[in-house]
Amino acid sequence: MSEEGERIAKRIARAGICSRRDAERLIVEGKVSLDGKVLTSPAVLVTELSVIKVAGKLLPTIEATRLWRYHKPKGVVTTHKDPQGRPTLFERLPPDLPRVISIGRLDLNSEGLLLLTNDGALARRLELPSNGWLRRYRVRVHGAIDPRALLQLAKGVTVDGVTYGGVEATLDSTKGANSWLTMSLKEGKNREIRKLVEHLGADVNRLIRLSYGPFQLGYLEPGHVEEVPARILRDQIGAGAGAPPAREKRKPRTAKPDAK
């Protein structure tokens, strides 16, 4: 923190309460107070001596930034509460985990690597396409795929008025009416891969995220969560996305089982 302080929304995000954007919304809604005064604007600087409360609760002490890899199973929603009563990611996490937020999302029918962190500011930073991190996916599709059409995705396409940046896509194998693709992208717009595959005249019937920047799904089993060692986190966040992942030795933990 600089001598002048830092933006209050950033401070709240660093405490792991929520993302910076959500913190700004809470401030506008009058749910944040600073030194006993309710705020209505996020344009405020705070210091280590500031007394901050969110929804009447004192802001927790800022812990060291931590990161976890989670293998999200299909059929789990990436949210804290689901109005439709579907199983959610956060209710399945081990009870000894601190409060965490997801870095990006995977939709209900997608599976694979999802990064979790206790640092809202880090989550926002790693979600930005400007960090240059590739998200790599293994995609099973139903329908004929023209390899030449896949090459066109690298130049970027516009589908239903939405412009998508370049996507690296290769046809790995075909058996009957199904094919496996590997697709890598940087933006990760809403349902981007599914919409691009539909644009090519096929449908996605399985979608697995294999990596997010330098962090890999590897052999992590569905429903398991494993913390990224602090040394590796510092190395990768500082060095960028190009370095290969280091071998992790911590024992994975299993999330809560499905309710029967």
Instruction: Say if residues 54 and 13 touch (Cβ distance below 8 Å).
Output: no
Sign of CA dihedral 98, 99, 103, 107: positive
Q: What is the CA radius of gyration of the chain?
A: 20
Which residues fall within 8 angstroms of residue 134, CB to CB, at 6 or more apart?
A: 168, 184, 185, 186, 211, 213, 241
CA 252 vs CA 71, 93, 221: distances in Å:
10, 12, 9
Catalytic site includes residue 107? yes
Options 107, 119, 146, 258, the catalytic residue: 107
- Tokens encoding 207: 């979608």
Distance of alpha carbon 34 from alpha carbon 133, whole angstroms: 36
- The set of catalytic residues is 107
